[in-house]
Structure 1
């Protein structure tokens, strides 16, 4: 896949999505067509941690792409316990973890509780955005592992009923938006949205304002990749107009116990190389040719 295997990467990071741990028996997805392995997801996280710790080139950080515990924990009054269990596994190594928030985070916790929790990665870094520092409830920030590369962590549920008080202006604004897109009696069906390119995910997982988001991405020649979770089957597409890679990572929760679902990404000046495990496919992401003033954004 990569004809320069001996070249040293600028940096390396691990990536994992949709762990959705719960101390309950196996179940099924919303349509009861796919099995979900709630307890086994913890072992798959251990597999990932072991692989990363034993790697010759160890990841400098981990991207956890959301839905770290399952919404069923809320009904069992086990949200805090489940989160502590998963975070204990992450803390078994000293590698920094950058947490993205998915819909299951908001099934378990209010937005204000998440901002106070260990899932708020801005509490452990000085690299947060000004609006977060000013006390906004938006969870979005950026960090730069090496000069020339910037990661932007987005708040996919800033406009959402999830995590908002029903009496709040944010809840009212979200309701107005949702009524334009969702005519179901149960407004939580489909349950959530994260990827932004229609060719990189199932339609029900696509962000409602994906066209607006794609326009923003396409307006910046520095963007090289958009990563997301949420669609447990995963997906991939390279935008033909810009060369931007859209990768949706397959989820741990629907991965059988005898398989795996995590990846390690090595980043070079002109490309990223994803080494997948189990359901995650190896991929080579060649970067679009930037101008002299561009910095790569992921």
Structure 2
């Protein structure tokens, strides 16, 4: 008996993370334990774009999960040139790009400069449903590629030291917070105490304003029975990444997600090794995508996701493995965020 062909996907999209391009010879990470291929990362981006262009089903959009260029560009006065080089490549792609902001964006540009730049995808997307308060300078928005599906882009450095003026209240509050957990003179050096490792300068978190906004977006999606995928540079589930890459207040964001039935997936970058975990509390898939910058020149690191009514199928290339994300089944009421969060 012949197997019936599967229905075509409702839509597809591309995913790529941590390109960190710089026109520099290979280097190493902060601890000089891992090689980084700054220059050849551009070719790996070209490989991904070529794959998406030649695909029988063109992606509806591409998610760029942050760290599009490397922080070393700043010290070489090459930030604008490097960004233009990468964005020129993206412009040859088959679909619009939704850019997430990571720590390397803030190494190169101020928050106000990023809001005025081509990395502000809210300026180029006509699928925005809601925007964060304009006076907060929070880069968070949602868009709907097709009816019934919502994507939410979060600002993982809304709370943090990067991109904030040292004289600002946001900077002072963030410095006070990180100092409660990290006494090191160099705040990029972690305290190796389990989950406390996350309190470094290259991480950040989500303000109450952003969490409340996300809660309202998800409440609306619950009512309309829409399926939501959330994206951020920083992972928020401890079992989807190493502690040193977690968002500062990952637990608060997890509480918001777990209090709704609409969220099906959370996608992040930052951890160049990647990771995956399906949260037993709600069944949400937490995917951390492998970084391009630590992928050798003869490899690849990107994925194409096909979306169906009941699942998403991720087809990885190179270091990114294939996965199937079955959508959670809504069973009864979702318990509101717990006071004492337990990681499952």
| 1:125 and 2:139 correspond | no
Deviations 1:223-273 (A, max 9, x none): 000000000000000011211000000000000000100000000011000
Runs (4+) of structure 1 exceeding 6 A deviation are: none
Shift of 1:172: 1.0
In the alignment, what sits opposite 2:57? 57
| 1:204 and 2:205 correspond | no
RMSD of aligned Cα (Å): 1.8
Which of 1 and 2 has higher RCO (CA within 8 Å, sep 6+)?
A: 1
Report how many aligned residue pairs link the two structures.
291
- Conservation of the 8 A alpha-carbon contact between 2:131 and 2:140: no
**Structure 2 CA distance for aligned equivalents of residues 5 and 114 of structure 1:** 45
In the alignment, what sits opposite 2:278? 238
- Conservation of the 8 A alpha-carbon contact between 1:166 and 1:172: yes
**Structure 2 CA distance for aligned equivalents of residues 45 and 231 of structure 1:** 18
**Structure 1 CA distance for aligned equivalents of residues 318 and 170 of structure 2:** 40
In the alignment, what sits opposite 1:174? 174
**Structure 1 CA distance for aligned equivalents of residues 297 and 180 of structure 2:** 40
- After TM superposition, list the pairs within 5 Å mapping 1:277-288 onto structure 2: 277-288=317-328
- After TM superposition, list the pairs within 5 Å mapping 1:61-210 onto structure 2: 61-126=61-126, 127=128, 129-132=130-133, 134-189=134-189, 190=200, 191-192=202-203, 194-210=234-250
**Structure 2 CA distance for aligned equivalents of residues 155 and 68 of structure 1:** 15
The alignment's TM-score, normalised by the length of structure 1, stands at 0.94
- Conservation of the 8 A alpha-carbon contact between 2:52 and 2:93: no
- Conservation of the 8 A alpha-carbon contact between 1:181 and 1:208: no
Shift of 1:129: 2.9
> Partner of 1:266: helix, strand, or coil?
strand
More deviation, 16-25/117-126: 117-126
- Conservation of the 8 A alpha-carbon contact between 2:59 and 2:94: no
Segments of structure 1 that go 5 or more residues without pairing to the other structure are none
> Partner of 1:224: helix, strand, or coil?
strand
> Partner of 1:42: helix, strand, or coil?
helix
In the alignment, what sits opposite 1:257? 297
The alignment's TM-score, normalised by the length of structure 2, stands at 0.81
